[in-house]
């Protein structure tokens, strides 16, 4: 029986830097061109990813990467982002995980998802949402393993590669976040510059 290698022996998890963006861009654009997981038709530019990273940093949302130790290459990333701009949604974030296609099924999805849930708890967020193309069963299964419950499905909301696509919404309530705001709510920003993987 084959034994899976602990992904942490092969990969380092750390926060993303601007220098990682060309590799993040490659991972993103590969999925744009070859999958329905992103509702984008054309590859995006490096500038697009630079704006995205700056926006995450400014708003206090995390972007973490998995770096292959042997090649020092960014293999995967995960981020949290604003779910909707209206203030009352502030304790909800949308989660994304993208892994280089040559590194699937090595346990990186689990590592990144577990870590992002831990980060979201430290940020005192209350709800995480994953919005996944319904035909993307690997992703739906991964999130399902971490108590993300299916909240609903929209039909034919996407159109790519000449066909309509359904989208499944999954949610995970972070019960550890106790909410005591009487006025406007806010979350604790991701500690950009100080983050270390797995630290309490």
For residue 64, the cross-strand partners are 15, 78
Nearest-approach distance from CB 10 to ligand COA, in angstroms: 12
60 CB-near residues (< 8 Å, 6+ apart): 123, 187, 188, 189, 190, 192
Binding-site ranges for ligand COA (CB under 6 A): 31, 37, 96-99, 104-110, 130, 132, 136-139, 141-142, 145
Is 117 or 185 the residue whose CB approaches ligand COA more closely?
117
Tell me the residue number closest to ligand COA, measured at CB. 109
Minimum CB separation from ligand COA for residue 160, in Å? 13
DSSP three-state, residue 112 = helix
Got the DSSP string for 6-55? PHHHHEEEEE--GGGHHHHHHHHHHHHHH-SSS--SSPPPHHHHHHHHHH
Nearer to ligand COA, 13 or 97 (CB): 97
Judged by CB, which is closer to ligand COA: 13, or 130?
130
In angstroms, rounded to a whole number, what is the distance separating the alpha carbons of residues 146 and 129? 12
Task: Give 21 or 132: the residue with its C-beta nearer to ligand COA.
Answer: 132
Tell me how far, at minimum, the Cβ of 159 lies from ligand COA, in Å.
18
Please report the beta strands in the chain, taking only residues with DSSP state E, as ranges in sequence order: 11-15, 63-68, 73-82, 92-99, 127-133, 149-160, 163-173
Cβ distance to ligand COA smaller for residue 29 or 139: 139
Shortest Å distance, C-beta 46 to ligand COA: 20
81's tokens: 């982002």
Least Å distance, CB 178 to ligand COA, is 27
């Amino acid at each position: 029986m084959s034994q899976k290698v602990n992904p942490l022996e092969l990969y380092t998890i750390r926060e993303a830097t601007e220098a990682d963006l060309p590799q993040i861009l490659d991972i993103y654009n590969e999925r744009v061109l070859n999958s329905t997981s992103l509702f984008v038709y054309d590859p995006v530019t490096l500038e697009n990813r630079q704006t995205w990273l700056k926006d995450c940093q400014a708003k206090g949302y995390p972007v973490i990467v998995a770096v292959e130790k042997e090649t020092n290459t960014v293999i995967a990333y995960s981020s949290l982002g604003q779910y909707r701009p209206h203030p009352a949604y502030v304790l909800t974030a949308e989660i994304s995980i993208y892994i280089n296609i040559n590194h699937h099924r090595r346990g990186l999805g689990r590592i990144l998802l577990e870590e992002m849930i831990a980060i979201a708890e430290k940020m005192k967020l209350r709800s995480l949402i994953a919005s996944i193309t319904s035909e993307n069963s690997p992703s739906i299964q991964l999130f399902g393993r971490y108590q993300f419950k299916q909240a609903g499905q929209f039909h034919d909301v996407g159109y790519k590669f000449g066909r309509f696509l359904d989208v499944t919404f999954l949610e995970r309530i972070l019960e550890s976040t106790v909410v005591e705001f009487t006025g406007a709510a806010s979350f604790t920003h991701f500690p950009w510059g100080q983050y270390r993987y797995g630290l309490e």
